Amino acid sequence: MLDKFREECGIFGVLGHQEAARIAYLGLYALQHRGQESAGIVSTDGHDLYRHTGMGYVAEIFTQSSLENLKGVTAIGHTRYSTAGESSIKNAQPILVSCSQGDLALCHNGNLVNALQVRRELEQAGSIFQSSSDSEVILHLIARSQKASIEEAITEALLQLNGAYSLIFLTQEKMIAVRDPRGFRPLSFGWLNDSPVLASETCAFDLIDAEFEREVGPGEMLTLSKGKVKSQKIFSSVSESFCIFEHVYFSRPDSQIFGKSVYESRHLLGRYLAQEHPVDGDVVLPVPDSGVAAAIGFSRESGIQFEFGLIRNHYVGRTFIEPKHAIRHFGVKIKLNPVVELIQGKRVVLVDDSIVRGTTSRKIVKMVRDAGAAEVHMRISCPPTISPCFYGVDTPTKKELIGSSHSVAEICKYIDADSLGYLSHEGMLRACGVPGGQGQGHFCSACYTGDYPVKFPEAALV
């Protein structure tokens, strides 16, 4: 997918390791795909907390000396794409505050649907906010709590908030992980030798040679301190709402999310897509990179040959300067280029993982036609996206999503494909779920159905 939904955030933590800051840096490096606007690490030596944040990529933000200044054996880190609050260094995380509970740092992945309302109430009561991030509300509520322990204060704060959150807190002595009662966003727990580690995705554990133990459960608080792991359920049980888009698009295919390999899910999405929307084709081409696993699944199921017929330039920055004289399909061409020899005269099946506004898909279809394709058939490995996300994924507004106002036939006409097929909702659930276990029937799929598991202000749905 090139006309993207923006990724959300990646969070990481390690406790009791001699090279905590460097391990956190590597963890964030593996989670870079979840956010590229800013990143940061807070570490502690048991007395003080040290913070370094910056704008841009993880590899640009941290240097040898900045990592050396992050002292101590425990560290948490965050990589961010803004889903609430503007893009600025003020909103970079981890957030670090001193309050009645002592020094406290926080990393948040997700989005709080009632943050604005709570923030207004707090401001009226005299609170002063330093950022426009929804995450800061959590710290204000903790700071106001009269509870004796940090765990109780966190629980009291979170009981006043709704929405999606996977959180890692850091104090001088402890690292505390919490996942919201519905478990929208993933959070995994593992071990690096004797040091407990936490990460949004298991691919971060692979890089540091840590062993995945389990996911932090929905509604679970996991308190990690020297030699101790304490688990408690802090909310009454509600039905789970794991974000299915983590499997369809966001997470790395080499991660295990919600009890299942993301690669396996994407492969099955492609297989079921081929079963539901068969087509006579000569070659299956993925729209790289996120469409690759589904395209392989489609190819295996249909028996149509798979080829990398669109080559992606991985080094495109955020902006580029256009030439004065127009180049055909410039915006797409800077990222993708067709291999003419694989396309010329062929009936091409293009596999992608979504159509957002339709403009990019239209350009890609045109590019493949211009490369000499006899026919272009588009296949999408999920249902049409019809509604925005309020739980931590940055989506266009409802009216900008082509699926919200156009039928499949109209979208097909708009993108100028010979045929268009979307995977059914049932097929998507079947591909991403674990039969008889965690997953199937426990997903949020609101951006495909408009059926939102947690209420949000109506005015937001425009």
Stretch that binds ligand SF4, among 59-67, 95-103, 276-284, 386-394 (CB under 6 A): 386-394
CA–CA dist 448, 403 (Å, integer): 9
Stretch that binds ligand SF4, among 204-212, 219-227, 242-250, 272-280 (CB under 6 A): 242-250
88 half-sphere exposure, CB direction, 13 A CA radius: 7
> Is 29 among the residues that bind ligand SF4 (CB under 6 A)?
no
Query: Is residue 9 among the annotated active site residues?
Result: yes
> Is 184 among the residues that bind ligand SF4 (CB under 6 A)?
yes
> Is 81 among the residues that bind ligand SF4 (CB under 6 A)?
no
Q: Which CB, 177 or 244, lies closer to ligand SF4?
A: 244
CA–CA dist 430, 383 (Å, integer): 13
End-to-end CA distance of the chain, in Å?
Answer: 24
CA–CA dist 69, 434 (Å, integer): 44
Phi first, then psi, for residue 395 (nearest 5°) are -115, 160
Sign of CA dihedral 117, 121, 124, 127: negative
Question: In the bound complex, which residue of the shown chain has the CB atom lying closest to ligand SF4?
Answer: 389
> Is 216 among the residues that bind ligand SF4 (CB under 6 A)?
no
Q: Which CB, 91 or 111, lies closer to ligand SF4?
A: 111
Contact 179, 185 (CB under 8 A): yes
Q: Which residues contact 128 (CB under 8 A, 6 or more apart)?
A: none
Q: How many residues bind ligand SF4 (CB under 6 A)?
A: 11
> Is 73 among the residues that bind ligand SF4 (CB under 6 A)?
no
DSSP conformational letter for 416: T
CB of 382 to ligand SF4, least distance (A): 10
CB of 434 to ligand SF4, least distance (A): 17
Judged by phi (left if over 0) then psi (alpha if -120 to 50, else beta), residue 306 lies in beta
> Is 245 among the residues that bind ligand SF4 (CB under 6 A)?
yes
> Angle formed by the axes of helices 359-370 and 408-415, to 10°?
50
Q: Which CB, 156 or 394, lies closer to ligand SF4?
A: 394
> Is 262 among the residues that bind ligand SF4 (CB under 6 A)?
no
> Is 9 among the residues that bind ligand SF4 (CB under 6 A)?
no
> Is 257 among the residues that bind ligand SF4 (CB under 6 A)?
no
> Is 389 among the residues that bind ligand SF4 (CB under 6 A)?
yes
List the one residue from 21, 113, 244, 268 that touches ligand SF4 (CB under 6 A): 244
Contact 76, 93 (CB under 8 A): no
* Residues lying near ligand SF4 in the complex (CB under 6 A): 184, 243-245, 389, 391, 393, 444-447
